[in-house]
């Protein structure tokens, strides 16, 4: 790796989990800044505005990574596509490489005893990441074609290139029965500043879903993405300096949904308790991985009267940070 003298830092652009509009936190998005190179992880609502508030220059963006295709992680991709022109994205010397999950392959069965709904877009009901970018471009074709002709803007294909992460045949992934089988980290991207590796994580039925690790000359950071407790995360994070991990208040889940016995409530509890990581378990994951710093991110709920986030520290002996929007964290303190 090329030595970066100015240091490497993590910027928490938005720290709220879930598809809700919040007054105190933006949607989930993070940045890794390595010298003058910028990398983004997830594009929750407000990600582009938060980048602006953080003083980050999209003209320095080299690559972006999407952990999974839930709306709260990709809502701002359209703004990157449509507003990036005017935020120095045209200054990139080659297309920014964007990576995300491929197609699940088939629509998941309804959870618990929920009634099956009609499928939207039956001709392409489960597009992967690259196809999703293609569909966004098509949806905004009127604007894009007008901007290119009226404002002289570049074709989006010169600025952004989207790729599905391809799993090797040796990984026995199955969206129904093996959403996160044990696997060795897979190299997704490499340049003179970073090497980015990934593993599958447990966020079924939304799958494939990934965690990402950035290794730099200054150290390493792992982003868990959305996941339940998952051994692959521990594998990926072992020896890392910083683990940025999602977290859910499991007591809040029971208070909010446990009093009503309906199919929707049961499905909600099942999702929250299996596809996300409770507060005590986040600390245990970080402890097993041996990381120096644990950063709590993708907070669910994002607004709460009785926050318990600090309790993750009861199971972790390193430094604990409860993430806040626009917080900057040096990779190595």
- Structural domain boundaries, residue 305: 8-108+122-330
Question: How far, in Å, CA of 23 to CA of 325, rounded?
Answer: 12
Question: How far, in Å, CA of 273 to CA of 254, rounded?
Answer: 10
- Give domain status of residue 113, yes or no: no
**CB contact at 8 A, 37 and 60:** yes
- Give domain status of residue 253, yes or no: yes
- Give domain status of residue 3, yes or no: no
- Give domain status of residue 114, yes or no: no
Question: How far, in Å, CA of 86 to CA of 48, rounded?
Answer: 12
| pLDDT digit string, tens, across residues 254-268 | 888 887 888 888 888
> For the residues 280-308, what does the mean pLDDT come to?
96
Question: Residue 325: its pLDDT value, please?
Answer: 98
- Give domain status of residue 89, yes or no: yes
Could you tell me whether strands 186-190 and 195-200 are parallel, antiparallel, or unpaired per DSSP bridges?
Answer: antiparallel
Question: How far, in Å, CA of 268 to CA of 285, rounded?
Answer: 24
Question: Residue 117: its pLDDT value, please?
Answer: 83
| pLDDT digit string, tens, across residues 35-75 | 999 999 999 999 999 999 999 999 999 999 999 999 999 99
| pLDDT digit string, tens, across residues 130-177 | 999 999 999 999 999 999 999 999 999 999 999 999 999 999 999 999
Query: Residue 239: which CATH number?
Result: 3.60.15.10
Q: What's the structural domain count of the chain?
A: 1
Structure tokens at 288: 């097993």
**CB contact at 8 A, 8 and 216:** yes
- Give domain status of residue 2, yes or no: no
Sequence-distant (6+) residues with CB within 8 A of 333 are 293, 319
Interior angle at CA 28, CA 321 and CA 305, nearest 5: 60
* Helix spans in 63-106 (H): 71-74, 77-83
Which residue's entry shows tokens 């290119």? Answer: 148
What pTM was computed for the model?
0.96
């Amino acid at each position: 790796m090329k030595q970066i003298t100015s240091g490497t830092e993590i910027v928490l652009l938005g720290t709220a989990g879930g598809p809700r509009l919040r007054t105190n936190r933006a949607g989930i998005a993070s940045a890794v800044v390595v010298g003058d190179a910028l990398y983004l992880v997830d594009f929750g609502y407000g990600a582009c505005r938060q980048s602006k508030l953080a003083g980050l220059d999209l003209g320095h963006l080299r690559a972006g990574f999407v952990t999974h295709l839930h709306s709260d992680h990709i809502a701002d991709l359209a703004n990157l596509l449509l507003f990036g022109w005017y935020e120095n994205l045209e200054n990139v010397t080659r297309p920014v490489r964007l990576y995300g999950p491929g197609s699940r392959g088939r629509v998941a069965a309804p959870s618990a005893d929920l009634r099956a709904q009609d499928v939207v877009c039956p001709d392409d009901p489960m597009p992967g990441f690259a196809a999703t970018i293609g569909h966004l471009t098509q949806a905004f074709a009127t604007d894009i074609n007008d901007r290119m002709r009226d404002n002289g803007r570049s074709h989006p294909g010169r600025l952004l290139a989207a790729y599905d992460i391809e799993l090797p045949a040796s990984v026995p992934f199955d969206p129904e029965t093996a959403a996160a089988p044990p696997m060795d980290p897979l190299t997704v991207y490499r340049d003179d500043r970073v090497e980015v590796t990934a593993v599958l994580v447990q966020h079924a039925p939304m799958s494939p879903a990934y965690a990402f690790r950035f290794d730099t000359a200054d150290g390493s950071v792992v982003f868990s993405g959305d996941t339940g407790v998952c051994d692959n995360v521990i594998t990926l994070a072992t020896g890392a300096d910083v683990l940025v991990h999602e977290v859910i208040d499991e007591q809040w889940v029971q208070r909010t949904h446990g009093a009503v016995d309906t199919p929707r409530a049961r499905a909600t509890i099942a999702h929250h308790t299996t596809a996300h990581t409770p507060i005590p378990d986040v600390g245990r994951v970080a402890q097993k991985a041996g990381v120096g710093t644990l950063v709590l991110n993708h907070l669910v709920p994002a607004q709460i009267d009785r926050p318990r986030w600090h309790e993750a520290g009861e199971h972790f002996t390193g430094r604990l940070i409860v993430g806040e929007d626009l917080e900057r964290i040096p990779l190595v303190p």
